[in-house]
Amino acid sequence: MTTGLRERKKLRTRRALGAAALELAVTHGLAEVTVEQIAEAADVSPRTFFNYFSSKEEAVVAADVERARDMGERLAARPAGEPVLASVRAVMREMLGDAPRSREWIAQARLVRSEPSLVPQQLAAYAASERRLAAILAERTGLDATDLYPAVTAAAVMAAVRVATTRWLESDEHGDLADVVDRVVDLLAAGLRDAPSPGP
Amino acid sequence: MTTGLRERKKLRTRRALGAAALELAVTHGLAEVTVEQIAEAADVSPRTFFNYFSSKEEAVVAADVERARDMGERLAARPAGEPVLASVRAVMREMLGDAPRSREWIAQARLVRSEPSLVPQQLAAYAASERRLAAILAERTGLDATDLYPAVTAAAVMAAVRVATTRWLESDEHGDLADVVDRVVDLLAAGLRDAPSPGP
DNA sequence: CCGCAAATGTGCAGAGACTGCAAGATCAGC
DNA sequence: GCTGATCTTGCAGTCTCTGCACATTTGCGG
């Protein structure tokens, strides 16, 4: 690992900016927050803010991008022989031990729901981990990176995870997210066969 | 149909703005184009531009949003008993007869690839038709709109269509997009079972 | 230690994005 | 035609975002 003082400092600044942006936006609403305020809260100049993020919106969803990167690394670390959908289930269970990070996550997700201008940025974060997942799958299966199979699998899986996360955040009783992920993965594995049990 | 003069005029203005934004961005690059130029090309004031779109980016992908809406309407019009994946295949074949619109589509897709700031907007357009599809599925299956099945199916299908479109646009020999869609839908229907034929 | 090269942080100036407001122009229905 | 509703426009002003020059800090070899 080449984690010099320089890189650690940069990462700290980036996280401080992201956290400040999120907190201010949650408290006052995104439109009421200026870059100047975010920079001040993170103790840097406004100009420096733009060295890290190209917009307020990007800073607010920065934690999402990190989460997506984290998920990609965990997926890459799973045993190569494991079926893809099984890896996804396992990784989601791994990622859910951290209560404080979950609380911040929920706050951010609710903010995105109330601020439409954040939706595109949120989706872009998912797209990043989708690319990561596709690359992992291509390597694992020995297929070409331009092949349809890894790309479709990655896209479908990330879409399913996104739906599971959204539904979980919207439900009042926060059961286990991993269980919801299990259910959406089951649906994928079943080939989206039409109409499951009509429900009681 | 309540298509008064007013509404038709508004639609014409919206399309003119979208087309002007796209053409100017393709010609000069998105960063070099100002809202003032777009407005002038569409023969309205700059202030009016912002009555239709909240940013340059949104205007450039306006055609995508329309396409997505079109797809939603076509899907809703399919026979209610038809399996979902079959409806998707059929709709994609329906939508591909129009050569001139396809050419504009390709130009726009290439622009999105070269301008990263358009990616989030592009994804947001897909998200809109995903919601539409989920609503259609919920109604068709009689399930609740908050149920996982319609949401996951819609998300997976739209993700697959997006991958198919992207791959098709990136390939040099533009075969039949509908064929590519067929292949990705096959993958979905097969439950993303691991590693198809390793390929020659 | 010391000094150099590279990477970062900052201030400044300026173009452009975007918004609220109020007034003028246009359309729909009576 | 008259009238209310809707759409367009200009204007003023704030904020976003960028390029550039300069100061500061870090990494590294001497």
Residues B82 and B45 in one domain: no
Q: Does strand C come within 7 Å of the CB of B193?
A: no
Amino acid at B54: S
User: Is B197 a domain residue?
Assistant: no
* Whether B160 and A163 lie within 8 Å, measured CB to CB: no
Residues A167 and A84 in one domain: yes
Q: What is the pLDDT of residue A197?
A: 54
- Is A1 at the interface with chain B, CB within 8 A? no
Residues B76 and B173 in one domain: yes
Residues A27 and A112 in one domain: no
Q: For B190, left (φ over 0), alpha (ψ -120 to 50), or beta? A: alpha
Q: What is the CATH number of the domain that holds B35?
A: 1.10.10.60
pLDDT band at A103 (very low <50, low <70, confident <90, very high): confident
Residues B65 and B41 in one domain: no
DSSP H stretches of helix in B29-118 = 35-42, 46-52, 56-60, 62-77, 84-94, 99-114
**Residue B33 near residue B56 (C-beta atoms within 8 A):** yes
User: Is B14 a domain residue?
Assistant: yes
Residues B32 and B114 in one domain: no
User: Is A197 a domain residue?
Assistant: no
Residues B163 and B102 in one domain: yes
Nearest neighbour of A124 by CB, restricted to B123, B163, B170: B123
**Residue A194 near residue B81 (C-beta atoms within 8 A):** no
Nearest protein residue to nucleotide C9 (CA to C1' distance) is: A48
User: Is B195 a domain residue?
Assistant: no
Q: What is the pLDDT of residue B87?
A: 94
Q: What is the pLDDT of residue A173?
A: 67
Interface of A with B in 84-113 (CB under 8 A): 84-85
User: Is B199 a domain residue?
Assistant: no
CA distance B181 to chain A (A): 10
What is the extent of the structural domain holding B154?
Answer: 61-189
Amino acid at B177: L
User: Is A198 a domain residue?
Assistant: no
* pLDDT beyond 50 at A199: no
Q: How far apart are CA B153 and CA A96, in angstroms?
A: 25
**Residue B127 near residue A123 (C-beta atoms within 8 A):** yes
Q: What are the phi and psi torsion angles at A64 (to 5°)? A: -65, -40
Residues B153 and B182 in one domain: yes
pLDDT block averages, 10 residues each, chain B of length 200: 77 97 96 97 98 96 91 92 92 82 84 92 91 91 90 96 90 81 95 63
* Whether B160 and A146 lie within 8 Å, measured CB to CB: no
Q: How far apart are CA A78 and CA A90, in angstroms?
A: 9
Domains identified in chain A, total number: 2
* Whether B123 and A121 lie within 8 Å, measured CB to CB: no
| Residue pLDDT, tens place only, A170-198 | 887 667 888 999 999 999 999 988 665 54
Give buried/exposed letters for A34-60 (b at 16+ CB in 10 A, else e).
ebebbbebbebeeeebeebbeebbbbb
Q: What is the pLDDT of residue B105?
A: 85
User: Is B84 a domain residue?
Assistant: yes
| Residue pLDDT, tens place only, A33-66 | 999 999 999 999 999 999 999 999 999 999 989 9
Q: What is the pLDDT of residue B107?
A: 87
Q: What is the CATH number of the domain that holds A138?
A: 1.10.357.10
Residue given tokens 């990190």 in the structure block: A66
* SS3 call for A197: coil
